[in-house]
Amino acid sequence: MALFNFFAKPLTSVIGIDIGSSAIKIVQIKKQNGQAVLETYGELSLGPYANATIGQAVILPPEKIANALVDLMREKEVNVTTNKCGISIPFASSLMSVIEMPAVSTKQLGLMVPIEARKYIPVPISEVALDWSIVPRSEVKIEDYPEGTPPDTGLATPVNIPKVDILVVAIHNDTIARYTDIVQKAGLAAGFFEIEIFSTMRAVLDDTLSPVMIMDMGAASTKLYIVERGITKASHTVNRGSQDITSNISKSLGLPLEKSEIMKRQIGATGEDKTMTEIIRLTLDYIFEEANHALLSFEKKYNKTVSKVILVGGGAALKGLSELAKANFNTDTVQANPFNKLATPAFLENILKETGPEFAVAIGAALRKLAEEE
Ligand X SMILES: Nc1ncnc2c1ncn2[C@@H]1O[C@H](COP(=O)(O)OP(=O)(O)OP(=O)(O)O)[C@@H](O)[C@H]1O
Position 53 contacts ligand X (CB under 6 A): no
> Which positions ≥6 away from 300 have C-beta within 8 Å?
none
Q: How many residues bind Mg ion (CB under 5 A)?
A: 2
Cross-strand pairs, 164 = 101
Residue type (1 letter), 183: V
Q: Which does 228 bind (CB under 5 to 8 A by kind): ligand X, Mg ion, none?
A: none
Cα distances (angstroms) measured from residue 327 to each of 52, 74, 324: 34, 42, 5
Per rule CB under 6 A, is residue 21 in the interface with ligand X? yes
Cα distance between residue 33 and residue 17, in whole Å: 24
Binding part of the chain for Mg ion, among 72-80, 122-130, 217-225, 232-240 by CB under 5 A, reads 217-225
Does 260 bind ligand X (CB under 6 A)? Our answer is no
Q: Is 169 in the site for ligand X (CB under 6 A)?
A: no
CA distance 159 to 150: 7
Of 96 and 168, the one with the shorter C-beta distance to Mg ion is 96
In whole angstroms, the minimum distance from the beta carbon of 146 to ligand X comes to: 41
Q: Shortest distance, CB of residue 136 to Mg ion, whole angstroms? A: 29
Q: How far is the CB of 5 from ligand X (least distance, A)?
A: 41
- Residue 241 binding partner per list ligand X, Mg ion, none, with a CB distance cut-off of 5 to 8 Å that depends on partner kind: ligand X
**Among 89, 165, 95, 161, which residue's Cα sits nearest to residue 128?**
95
Please report the beta strands in 103-221, taking only residues with DSSP state E, as ranges in sequence order.
128-135, 163-172, 189-195, 212-217
337, interface contact from Mg ion, ligand X, none, CB < 5-8 Å by kind: none
Nearer Cβ to ligand X, position 28 or 246? 246
Q: Which residues, 8 to 27, sit near Mg ion by CB under 5 A?
A: 20
Work out how close the CB of 316 gets to Mg ion at its nearest, in angstroms, rounded to a whole number. Answer: 11
Residues 214-243 that bind ligand X (CB under 6 A): 218-221, 241-243
Q: For the chain, first and last CA: distance in Å?
A: 23
Q: Considering the rule CB under 5 A, would residue 218 count as an interface residue with Mg ion?
A: yes
Nearer to ligand X, 39 or 261 (CB): 261
Q: Tell me which residue of 262, 266, 215 sits closest to 241, measured CA to CA.
A: 215
Q: Are 35 and 344 in contact (CB under 8 A)?
A: no
What's the rounded Cα separation, in Å, for the pair 126 and 129? Answer: 8
State which of residues 264, 341, 368, 369 lies at the interface with ligand X (CB under 6 A).
264
| Nearer Cβ to ligand X (30/202) | 202
Return the SS3 of 244: helix
- Contact between 14 and 86 under an 8 Å Cβ cutoff? The reply is yes
Which of ligand X, Mg ion, none binds 88 (CB below 5-8 Å, type-dependent)?
A: none
Rank residues 117 and 309 by Cβ distance to ligand X and give the closer one.
309
Residue 221 site contact among ligand X, Mg ion, none (CB < 5 to 8 Å, cut-off depends on kind): ligand X
Among 42, 47, 86, 314, binds ligand X (CB under 6 A): 314
State the CB neighbour count (10 A cutoff) for residue 15: 28
Burial 97-123 (b: 16+ CB within 10 A, else e): bebebeeeeeeebeeebeebbeeebee
Interacting residue ranges for ligand X, rule: CB under 6 A: 20-23, 55, 90, 218-221, 241-243, 246, 261, 264-265, 313-315, 317-318, 358
Interacting residue ranges for Mg ion, rule: CB under 5 A: 20, 218
